[in-house]
Amino acid sequence: MAEAGIPTNQLKKNSLGVGAITFLVVSAAAPLTGAGGGIPPSMLFGNGAGIAGSFLIVTLILLAFSVGYVAMSRHVKNAGAFYAFAAQGLGGRFGGAAAMVAILSYNAMQVGLMGLLGAVASGTFAQFGLELPWYVWTYIAIALVAVLGYRQVDLSAKVLMLLVLAEFAIVVLLNLAILIKGGAAGLNLQPFTWTQITSGTPSIGFLFCFAGFIGFEATTIYSEEAKNPSVTVPKATYISVLAIGIFYTLTSWLMTMGIGVDQLLPTLQGLPDPAAFLFILGETYIGGTLTTVMGVLFMTSIFAAVLAFHNAVARYKFVAGREGILPDAVGFTHARFQSPHIGSVLQTIIALVVVSVFVAKGLDPVLNLFVWMTQMGTLGVLGLMALTSFAVIAFFAKDAMGENMLSTKVLPLVTGVVMAYLFFIIFRDFGALTGSEGMLSWAIPALVPLFGVIGFALASALAARDPARFKDLGKSKA
């Protein structure tokens, strides 16, 4: 424990159990945001009713990824997560590349969600007679997140736990109402048939599904703050994947049943905004009052995701500073809170600057800020997952350390190839997926490999400047 007034480079140990870590990462996946803002467009632009089957397949793929991921987490306990795994498996230079891509990706996810939060908050409060531009609410959210992110992580966990439980509860209530009433035309398993899964444009459907899970992999970020991390982190990872996967699979299936397979696409095509679909189902099955509550929880769901991504990126910056990739000053924690306060403050400044640029340019908070930034973040995280899968193979190549071949070679190879392929598809089709045109269609996704090159160069500079420190990149700190 640090003495009062003396900064340290250690996070607050033994402060998070399985439940707290699970809520921190599940909140990043934003269950209600996914149900209201992710599932309807994935149906409309992707593979319609087949999105439920797609979620089931993606859940199985991410469970397979998690096997190698948690195997390595038992031997590398470092808040750098993807960075630490890449450094320990593939070498410090690849670790540096992973660190900068992670910082970019989580930044993009958090700042992009700020746009959606501002738009939703503006509409929500307008219903109660308080009309303000979207960016006012976004700036208020940035201030609140700045306070929570600066303090102890267990405070953020408590706030997120309440918000996530509430958003889960309202969607589960809607699901049960549809289930009990038998939907619009009886319940069936059509959404899980191969015909439905491959209908429409399944590639877009699958990409939306993967985006719905972004955040689950952050369990290892909290390994230095976890109680008994060798047990806590693996449990939290599996619980997170299963909780998100089962929730999205059942919810997307029951949303389809609520309107009927045949009426799903015509209904979505007739809406000015596909996000309204969840609330139409709410009016039909649980009534106006609870649907209004759902609208408020939709807003708090996005806030929870913003806070979770803020916490994640602050830790990546802290680790990159502590280990010499970023300036040393970033690698200190608060003397009292033992939080990565410098990384948190930097994240707040970045959010303010980027949001202000979008405001000044008069760009749309959802179609531009949210879509462009979060898809770039999804691209970066898929790249990191591919790199991590190959790092697992390399890490255990000489010594399996008691882990089996399935977790050290077979599943990491399969998931690494799948993630690399998805990275290529999103990069190639970024303009079509996001509506970005001209130079932006390649300049935005190009930031991901660019930051990888920058990280590789920063790690190389560290190797020349301080070989001993470079050699220790990514080592366990818990």
pLDDT tier, 188 (very low <50, low <70, confident <90, very high otherwise): very high
Q: Judge whether residue 5 has pLDDT over 60.
A: no
Q: Judge whether residue 425 has pLDDT over 80.
A: yes
Residues 332 and 342: beta-carbon distance below 8 Å: yes
Q: Judge whether residue 448 has pLDDT over 90.
A: yes
List, for residues 190-205, the tens digit of each pLDDT value: 999 999 999 988 888 8
Residue-level pLDDT at 395: 95
Q: Judge whether residue 39 has pLDDT over 80.
A: yes
- Segment (H or E) for 182: none
How far is residue 126 from each of residues 3, 295, 342, measured CA to CA in Å? 48, 12, 36
358 CB contacts (<8 Å, ≥6 apart)? 115, 365, 368, 369
Identity of the highest mean pLDDT range in 318-332, 338-352, 459-473 = 459-473
Region 410-433: what's the mean pLDDT?
A: 90
What percent of the chain is modeled with pLDDT above 90? 45
Region 43-61: what's the mean pLDDT?
A: 94
pLDDT tier, 1 (very low <50, low <70, confident <90, very high otherwise): very low
pLDDT tier, 250 (very low <50, low <70, confident <90, very high otherwise): very high
Long-range residue pairs from 137-146, CB within 8 A, at least 24 positions apart, any chain: 138/114, 138/355, 138/365, 139/352, 139/355, 141/114, 141/117, 141/303, 141/306, 142/114, 142/348, 142/351, 142/352, 142/355, 144/303, 145/303, 145/306, 145/307, 145/310, 145/348, 145/351, 146/344, 146/345, 146/348
Region 354-372: what's the mean pLDDT?
A: 92
Residue-level pLDDT at 32: 85
Average of per-residue pLDDT values in the chain: 86
Residue-level pLDDT at 3: 45
SS3 content of the chain, % helix, strand, coil (to 5): 80, 0, 20
Residue-level pLDDT at 2: 43
End-to-end CA distance of the chain: give it in Å, rounded.
Answer: 14
Residue-level pLDDT at 4: 46
Q: Judge whether residue 6 has pLDDT over 50.
A: no
Q: What angle do CA 151, 155, 157 make, to 5 degrees?
A: 125
Residues in the chain: 478
List, for residues 271-288, the tens digit of each pLDDT value: 877 878 998 999 999 998
Residue-level pLDDT at 276: 83
Residue-level pLDDT at 12: 57
pLDDT tier, 258 (very low <50, low <70, confident <90, very high otherwise): very high
Q: Other CB atoms closer than 10 Å to residue 289's CB: what's the count?
A: 9
pLDDT tier, 155 (very low <50, low <70, confident <90, very high otherwise): low
pLDDT tier, 167 (very low <50, low <70, confident <90, very high otherwise): confident
Residue-level pLDDT at 431: 85
What tokens were used for 361? Answer: 């340019």
Region 61-73: what's the mean pLDDT?
A: 92
**Regarding predicted confidence, which is higher, 312 or 463?**
463
Q: Judge whether residue 154 has pLDDT over 90.
A: no
List, for residues 68-90, the tens digit of each pLDDT value: 998 998 888 776 678 889 999 99
